[in-house]
Amino acid sequence: MGQLEKNLFNSTEIEEIRKQTSVDGVSPLISNRFQVELSAGNIIPFSTSLFLESLDDEFLDTLPPNFKWKPGQEFLPMIVSSDFLQMYNVFAPGYGLPQVSEATASQIKIFITCTGVNGAQQTFRGSIVAFSDRINSIIVPKDFLVWGNNVFSHNTEVKAARLYVKMKDANNPAFIRFLDEHQYRINKDKVKFGRVKGVLQTVVTGLGAFGLLVVLLALMLFSFYLQLIIAKSKDNLQLLLTLGYSPRWLTKTVAGKWIPLYIIIVIAAVVVTSILQWLFFTYTSSLDTKMSPYIHWSVAALSVVLIILTAMSNYRLVKKQLYAI
């Protein structure tokens, strides 16, 4: 509080945000450093002080062709948040003012009076050329704010208190942790699933580690079971070796007996996982999670690798036990 510079983004901080892997682009929202008063003339007896902001055109969701301004131009186009119009229509009846639609608001001529620190004053005619559902602000062309801050406040370099960030995935947990570490305030509604996603990733990671432990314990248990089977069949195996059967053939026969069982178990696990993935996708489809209804190809590849590793480990175990007889 009272330390304005600490609440503004500098070029280093903006560049650091731009370098985040999930960020496609960053645009500072430059605001006015002079007084601005808006009125609607005799049509609607309403006037108020307000703020103006601007950002790069490619970040705007609606960009009409007449959204331009150059020095000497009296007409000032504005893009207004749709929420602001709804707010006006809520309090307008209480002040005896008429409610207006977007089409009507676009036809109203607006007067924007700019007052500088040295008392300089200039009034512009303006109108709302578009409404934005994305940006909660009053947006004017960037050329106007650069010119206005220079003329009315003698400020040639205006730092931004807000940034507009274009994301590949607004719910990226890594980016949300980055924002929390730097104590940046954000529109939490846009990233509410990202925080849930971060918790889910932690839970899933824990479950994955637990699942890996279960698999390792299952392999150890099955290896003990094989050793027990071979120990109980020691006399029969010795007899087969005496009759001339090679240890290699016996190893393949005993180890290969369990491969179909491995394949059935792994396929059943993949099918159950696929069903759970599809059900989870159906349940979260309304949250815009960009989740695939199908399991990742790496899951199928891992299942094949697991079958091969299990078969090889059992083969080596059986071979070791047979040669020890």
185 falls within a domain: no
Same-domain status, 105 and 237: no
Rounded-to-integer distance, Cα 153 and Cα 117, Å: 6
- Per residue in 188-204, pLDDT (tens digit) is 666 666 566 667 777 88
Distance (Å, whole) CA 249 – CA 130: 80
Same domain, 11 and 158: yes
Q: % helix / strand / coil in the chain, to the nearest 5? A: 55, 20, 30
Give, for 271, the enclosing helix (H) or strand (E).
Answer: helix 259-284
* Amino acid 192: pLDDT: 61
Q: Are 97 and 23 in contact (CB under 8 A)?
A: no
Stated pTM of the model: 0.59
The answer to whether residues 84 and 153 belong to one domain is yes
| pLDDT of residue 140 exceeding 90 | yes
- Which are the contacts of 136, defined by CB distance < 8 A and separation ≥ 6? 81, 83, 84
pLDDT tens for 79-92 read: 999 988 898 889 88
Question: What is the DSSP track for 157-205?
Answer: -PPBSEEEEEES-TT-HHHHHHHHHTT----GGGSHHHHHHHHHHHHHH
For 41-55, what is the mean pLDDT? 82
Q: Is the pLDDT of residue 170 over 80?
A: no
Q: In percent, how much of the chain has pLDDT > 70? A: 90
- Count of the separate structural domains present in the chain: 2
Q: Is residue 233 part of a domain?
A: yes
Q: What local confidence, expressed as pLDDT, does residue 234 receive?
A: 74
Structural domain span for residue 100: 4-168
pLDDT at 288: 57
Domain end marker among 133, 168, 203: 168
Residues 66 and 199 in one domain: no
Co-location of 93 and 164 in the same domain: yes
Pairing of strands 75-81, 121-132: parallel
Whether residues 40 and 156 fall in one domain? yes
Domain presence at residue 313? yes
Cβ atoms of residues 79 and 54 within 8 Å: no
173, part of any domain: no
Note whether 202 and 135 are same-domain residues: no
Same domain, 93 and 234: no
Do 239 and 128 reside in the same domain of the chain? no
All residues at 6 or more sequence positions from 151 whose CB lies less than 8 Å from its CB, including other chains: 116, 120
